[in-house]
């Protein structure tokens, strides 16, 4: 029973990140705002969640894993309820972007910590991670389909009310979670580290998200703030300005946690966490997996809607083979973990993912049949499903129970950053031509294939052994 509320919570958080995309026009018309205004709310949700994931994870050491999980559910549910009743864009942002983002940052890290510390053996842990990872991928894939159906039948507010009902159910289920004793914390929370971490990730993710609008290198439009043009079209893309500021803040963050550790005080994240080669390579594979998954879904959704003229519901149905692949491989995670090491599973997953992308590139055309996308999407989903479980298991298992709060936050930040980069990367490629079909679609798939190949290289560099005794 422990895994059910955790998997459902991951489903809800992933669902919220994708379901809004099919309701943008309806929300804009109802609230008297623009599509850009609603897209801003979606962007702020991603920024809030990614920026606060590490501090939210560290709070589990101070508040307790289960308590932090339930607190996150309450904050998330309050945000969804507020968003469902929003009379204008201001309260939509407050409910969806801020409260749901904060709630996600509080409840997602404990999901992976609780799976780790409550699992008696590696196979059980892999099976439970498979359920959680599969639920997350299912939420991301089902978001457009379920959101399209709910919005069409009942209106966009019903989608938020559905989240409220799911969260209430999860809170009831969470009462049965039995949490092992956590680490005793006698030191103060690293407020300065939390601020630096959140600010650094905020600017990095914000910079990546600018690429879809302004491009990766040369700005396609004027970048203005309050009517003042700061970066003219044809100059450097705002991506590098935001990313540069974020990188500078993150350098200050690492200097801060090293100084705090030397002074004998508890840092937000132990610097030694980043000295482990297997952990770093595992985090990189997690980042690439979500980059490829979210980027592929975005590219295919745009292609189906703008080239083939599919509706939101039809687009969601077309992504079903990928969802089946993810669920099938996730369900077999425990059995595969008993037979193969995480390193081999990650490598095999990348090979399947690359094969799926190649099939999509070779078979899918503007005039090809519905079945042309099925083989590639299924292999893509199956490959990602295998990797998601194996990489999470690898990274979480590298740290003792006392450090699960630290590694969980870093792991979730790497995954969320991958999702943002994947969407932005795909969007930037597609935006390079006036009609996102044909050449631009192929170029976007090729770009994602190259990213998957880079992930395979990282997996090949994983040394033995991949777990600690």
465, pLDDT greater than 60: no
428, pLDDT greater than 80: no
Select from 454, 439, 441, 427 the least CA-distant residue to 214.
Answer: 427
Strand partners, 218: 236
Tell me the C-alpha to C-alpha distance, in Å, between residue 13 and each of 106, 119, 176, 265.
11, 23, 21, 33
Strand partners, 236: 218
- pLDDT per residue as tens digits for the range 266-291: 888 888 888 888 889 999 999 999 89
374-397 vs 342-363: helix crossing angle, rounded to 10 = 160
Q: Do residues 35 and 28 make contact, with C-beta atoms less than 8 angstroms apart? A: yes
212 CA to centre of own chain = 17
- pLDDT per residue as tens digits for the range 235-255: 898 989 999 999 999 999 999
The DSSP secondary structure of 445-464, one letter per residue, reads HHHHHHHHHHHHHHHHT--S
In this prediction, residue 184 carries a pLDDT of: 60
182, pLDDT greater than 70: no
**For the whole model, what pTM was predicted?**
0.80
Q: Do residues 79 and 98 make contact, with C-beta atoms less than 8 angstroms apart? A: yes
| Residue reference for tokens 């069409």 | 152
Distance, in Å, from the CA atom of 95 to the CA atom of 259, rounded to the nearest integer, reads: 37
Give the mean pLDDT of 123-140. 77
| DSSP secondary structure code for residue 228 in this structure | E
Structure token digits, residue 12: 């809800």
């Amino acid at each position: 029973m422990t895994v059910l509320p955790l998997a459902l919570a991951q489903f809800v958080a992933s669902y919220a990140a994708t379901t809004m995309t099919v309701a943008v026009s309806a929300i804009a018309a109802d609230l008297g705002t623009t599509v850009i205004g609603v897209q801003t709310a979606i962007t702020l949700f991603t920024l809030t969640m990614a920026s606060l994931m590490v501090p939210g994870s560290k709070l589990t050491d101070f508040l307790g894993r289960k308590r932090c999980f339930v607190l996150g559910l309450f904050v998330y549910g309050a945000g969804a309820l507020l968003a469902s009743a929003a009379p204008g864009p201001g309260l939509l942002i407050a409910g969806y972007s801020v409260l749901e983002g904060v709630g996600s940052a509080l409840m997602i890290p404990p999901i992976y910590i609780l799976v780790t510390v409550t699992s008696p053996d590696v196979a059980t842990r892999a099976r439970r991670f498979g359920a959680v990872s599969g639920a997350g991928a299912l939420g991301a894939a089902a978001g457009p389909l379920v959101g399209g159906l709910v919005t069409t039948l009942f209106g966009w507010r019903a989608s938020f009310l559905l989240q409220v009902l799911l969260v209430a159910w999860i809170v009831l289920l969470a009462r049965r979670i039995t949490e092992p004793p956590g680490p005793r914390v006698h030191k103060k929370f690293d407020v300065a580290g939390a601020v630096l971490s959140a600010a650094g990730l905020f600017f990095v993710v914000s910079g990546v998200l600018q690429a879809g609008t302004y491009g990766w290198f040369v700005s396609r439009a004027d970048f203005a703030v309050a009517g003042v043009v700061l970066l003219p079209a044809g100059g450097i893309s705002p991506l590098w300005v935001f990313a540069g500021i974020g990188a500078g803040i993150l350098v200050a963050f690492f200097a801060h946690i090293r100084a705090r550790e030397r002074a004998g005080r508890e840092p937000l994240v132990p610097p030694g966490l980043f000295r482990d080669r297997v952990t770093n390579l595992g985090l990189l594979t997690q980042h690439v997996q979500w980059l490829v998954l979210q980027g592929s879904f975005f590219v295919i959704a745009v292609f189906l809607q703008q080239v083939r003229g599919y509706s939101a519901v039809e687009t969601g149905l077309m992504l079903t083979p990928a969802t089946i692949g993810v669920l099938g491989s996730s369900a077999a995670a425990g059995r595969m973990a008993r037979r193969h090491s995480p390193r081999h599973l990650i490598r095999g997953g990348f090979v399947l993912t690359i094969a799926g992308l190649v099939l999509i590139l070779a078979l899918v055309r503007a005039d090809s049949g519905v079945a042309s996308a099925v083989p590639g999407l299924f292999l893509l989903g199956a490959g990602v499903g295998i990797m998601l479980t194996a990489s999470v298991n690898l990274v979480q298992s590298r740290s003792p129970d006392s450090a699960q709060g630290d590694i969980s936050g870093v792991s979730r930040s790497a995954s969320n950053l991958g999702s943002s980069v994947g969407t932005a990367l795909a969007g930037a490629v597609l935006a390079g031509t006036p009609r996102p079909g044909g050449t631009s679609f192929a170029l976007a798939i090729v770009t994602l294939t190259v990213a998957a190949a880079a992930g395979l290289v990282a997996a090949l560099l994983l040394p033995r052994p991949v777990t600690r005794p």
